[in-house]
Amino acid sequence: MKAGGNDPSQFNMHRLGAMLKEYLYESSGEQILEQFWGIWTAIRDHIIIPFNYRSFAQITERFDFPYEMDAVFFGTEAKMVRECLERQDPEAWDRLIRLYREMMEYLTDMYEENRLNLRRSYAEAHFYKGETGTADALFKQLTEEHPEWVWGYVGWGDLYNPQFDSSAAGSKDKALRLYQSGLDKVASDKDVLEERIMELTRQ
């Protein structure tokens, strides 16, 4: 540990490391969202708030910590989403939405690409919960504030793309409109939108 080791209120980093090891490599039978929630609240209450950190990277810089938390979260987030889809329980989505909201609130200095992906996930979770109006409003805000970011348009359009099993409100016309809205604005990866449009128009 690089700093803070003499602080009696210092959270036991070895315990946190054990929690992460279990989460990543050992099946405990516990739902993955609840496992990560326990990890997040430990980091939030014992590290982020007391030390006023605003990104996972700041934690890594200060402490000898074997896990890159950005990679841990984004590498396992899809499993949390899949779990919520399988449970078909609005409370599960509420839990995930709260996790996203808290991470956006506390991790204000996280890498921009990660923050944008977190906002995208936040909007998608509202959609999957059945709150399509909220999801559309969040995606509209995201694409207006970051018109050059292709994955905002891709994520929004994918929610309505009937080719995807995750689309609960399939609408070919709306998906096409959302994809096309980004073609003249994105700074890179325009081919992703063009491919989506081509595949839909072939139907």
| pLDDT at residue number 165 | 63
Give me the pLDDT at residue 3, please.
41
User: Mean pLDDT across the stretch 183-187?
Assistant: 92
Residue (of 80, 82, 130, 71) closest to 100 by Cα position? 80
Higher pLDDT residue, 5 or 44?
A: 44
pLDDT at residue 14, rounded to an integer: 83
Residue-level pLDDT at 11: 63
Q: Is 80 exceeded by the pLDDT of residue 185?
A: yes
Instruction: Supply the mean pLDDT for the chain.
Output: 90
Q: Is 167 a residue whose pLDDT tops 90? A: no
Cα separation, 150 vs 145, in Å, equals 12
Percent residues over pLDDT 70 in the chain: 91
Could you give the percent of the chain with pLDDT greater than 90? 74
Average pLDDT score over residue span 150-168: 86
Contacts of 118-123 spanning 24+ positions with Cβ under 8 A? 120/151, 120/152, 120/155, 121/77, 121/81, 122/97, 123/155, 123/156
Residue 30 has pLDDT above 90, yes or no: no
Mean pLDDT across the stretch 113-123? 98
Average pLDDT over residues 65-80: 92
